[in-house]
Structure 1
Amino acid sequence: MTSSSRAGFSAVLATAIASAAFVLTGVLVVRGLGDLRNASDVINVTGSARRSITSDQAVWRFTVRSVDDTSLQGAYRTFRATQPAVDSFLKAQTLKPDELRREPVNAGPERYTVIETLNGENREVERTRFVVSETYRLQSNDIRRIQGAVSDATAAFVQASTDGVSIESSDIEYLYTRLADVRLELLKEASQDAQRRAQAIAQSAGNSVGAVKNARMGVFQITPRFETSVEDSGSYDTSSLEKDVTAVVEIDFVVR
């Protein structure tokens, strides 16, 4: 074979190899696009689960507050005069040491505003008074004991209250101490609910669902029993003894 013939044959061979490579690359590209399309075929569903719970702990707070317009010493004397009645009330509740917490006593001046009439016109006037206060916290797994304390408090506080002293009572807070376990169980149930929904939708189109591609956990809603309202940031009701806990998940399943 002459040199010119060999050169021509090499050119033809190179062209053939390049053409084959181009065809093979095209096949790979098409196959890759096909896999990508399959991977993007997903179904997005939301699953939920709800469980009813009964609170297992109660918290109640009340504050003894003494006010004197002239001196801190006067406010403190009045405050101390209420202590025997308050202590007697607490003793009658037969609380365990860990069920009662007394906050440190707060004492000091307090600014407040009153409306006075001068020359037929109302105006705001700022004044100072002196306040001594202490907050008591009762917390127990014996919910009936806390409820009973609140019922007994009315008569006891009437006895303890004198001029210049007020006793402010909060509502009972009802808590559930095993909430972490319930959340894990509800997440599992909500995920199973989402899978069932996805399977039902896919089967209606002659398909089935495969692996989870993405999963997002929604906020938990802890609401009074049979309450239907929800909040975007989640809710944690403490006002009711009986509650519902709701979990929501959003999952993307691959369609097969």
Structure 2
Amino acid sequence: MKENRFLLPTIILSLAILLSVLLFSGTWKKVRSTDQTINVTGSAKKLIVSDLAVIRGNLNAEAATAKEAYQKLQSQKPILLAYLAKQGFNEKDIDFKTTNSYPNYYYNNNGMQTGIRSYTINQMIEFQSKDVEKMKKLSIDITSLVEQGVEFAVNPPEYYYTKISDIKIDVQAEAAKDAMIRGRRIAEATGRTLGTLKSARMGVLQITPENSNITSDYGVNDVSSIRKEITAVVNANFEIE
């Protein structure tokens, strides 16, 4: 009778201890799981085709005096404007920048200036079009004006995509989705599941020529190619359960 009197309290105490251990174990596992995270990098790439081209170049003239150089420069403009008019450009579409003038010197054997040889005047000219293929061809053909006495030094065309802000949002969203997929696959490979997103950091966008592997910590913004690729990178941190 005495032994039976202590049997029930012993059983209750044992069950209480067992329950406490189970509860502690489950809580510890939960805390341990939430403390574990995984860092993954996702990326996405889109092809874009430029829809705007800009050409810049310098009209140059050299003569014995600054006045003569200026007059020579002005005499070249009608020829250049007539050429561009045949290409579909009105004079109002052409932006003439400020003229610059500087002397050219004679130098002796010691590299000292001995007098003014001539004067050079140049003026930057800029025009643009949405017909990028036409502008590409024009940038090559316009140098033929030298045969008519026009000294026009053209720069390589610059090609832009005017809807780049819309593409940025889409490609960054795809990069974030790629990071989530990568994280899920890694978690599943280790018998875990991917939890909530704790943090995400967008990398700088890279706009590069098609099939190029150029990258920069500060980002790349290519203007030399008609066809480009925009690449976004997202570094994400997920909980794993």
Q: TM-score range by the shorter chain?
A: 0.7 to 0.9
Corresponding position: 1:116 with 2:101:
no
* Structure 1 residue 107 displacement after superposition: 3.7
Alignment partners' CA distance in 1, 2:48 and 2:202: 21
Q: Which residue of 1 aligns with 2:113?
A: 125
Corresponding position: 1:159 with 2:153:
no
* Structure 1 residue 133 displacement after superposition: 2.1
The answer to whether the Cα contact below 8 Å between 1:214 and 1:252 also exists between their aligned partners in 2 is: yes
Corresponding position: 1:175 with 2:167:
no
The answer to whether the Cα contact below 8 Å between 1:105 and 1:134 also exists between their aligned partners in 2 is: yes
Q: Which residue of 1 aligns with 2:234?
A: 249
Residues 109/150 of structure 1: CA separation in 2 closer, same or farther (3 Å cut)? closer
1:160-195 alpha-carbon deviations (Å, 9 max, x no partner) = 33xxxx321101111111111111111111111100
The answer to whether the Cα contact below 8 Å between 2:59 and 2:122 also exists between their aligned partners in 1 is: yes
Alignment partners' CA distance in 2, 1:252 and 1:107: 55
Residues 187/126 of structure 1: CA separation in 2 closer, same or farther (3 Å cut)? farther
Corresponding position: 1:71 with 2:60:
no
Q: Which residue of 2 aligns with 1:21?
A: none
Pairwise CA RMSD = 2.7
Identity %: 29
Alignment partners' CA distance in 2, 1:126 and 1:251: 66
**Residue 105 of structure 1 aligns to a residue in which SS?**
strand
Corresponding position: 1:89 with 2:83:
yes
* Structure 1 residue 228 displacement after superposition: 1.4
* Structure 1 residue 199 displacement after superposition: 0.7
The answer to whether the Cα contact below 8 Å between 1:140 and 1:146 also exists between their aligned partners in 2 is: yes
The answer to whether the Cα contact below 8 Å between 2:209 and 2:222 also exists between their aligned partners in 1 is: yes
Which of 202, 205, 210 is the matching residue for 1:220? 205
Residues 107/236 of structure 1: CA separation in 2 closer, same or farther (3 Å cut)? closer
Q: TM-score, normalised by structure 1?
A: 0.74
Q: What letter matches 2:226 in structure 1?
A: L
Alignment partners' CA distance in 2, 1:84 and 1:96: 12
1:58-109 alpha-carbon deviations (Å, 9 max, x no partner) = 11112102233x53212111112212211211211112577x3322331433
Q: Which residue of 2 aligns with 1:28?
A: none
1:228-256 alpha-carbon deviations (Å, 9 max, x no partner) = 12111110111111111111000000111
Structure 2 gaps, min length 5: 1-26
1:209-228 alpha-carbon deviations (Å, 9 max, x no partner) = 11111110001111111111
**Residue 45 of structure 1 aligns to a residue in which SS?**
strand
Residues 78/207 of structure 1: CA separation in 2 closer, same or farther (3 Å cut)? same
Residues 115/83 of structure 1: CA separation in 2 closer, same or farther (3 Å cut)? same
Corresponding position: 1:134 with 2:128:
no
Alignment partners' CA distance in 2, 1:252 and 1:175: 34
Kindly report which structure 2 residues correspond to 1:12-91, keeping only aligned pairs within 5 A, or say none. 37-68=32-63, 70-91=64-85
Q: What letter matches 2:164 in structure 1?
A: L
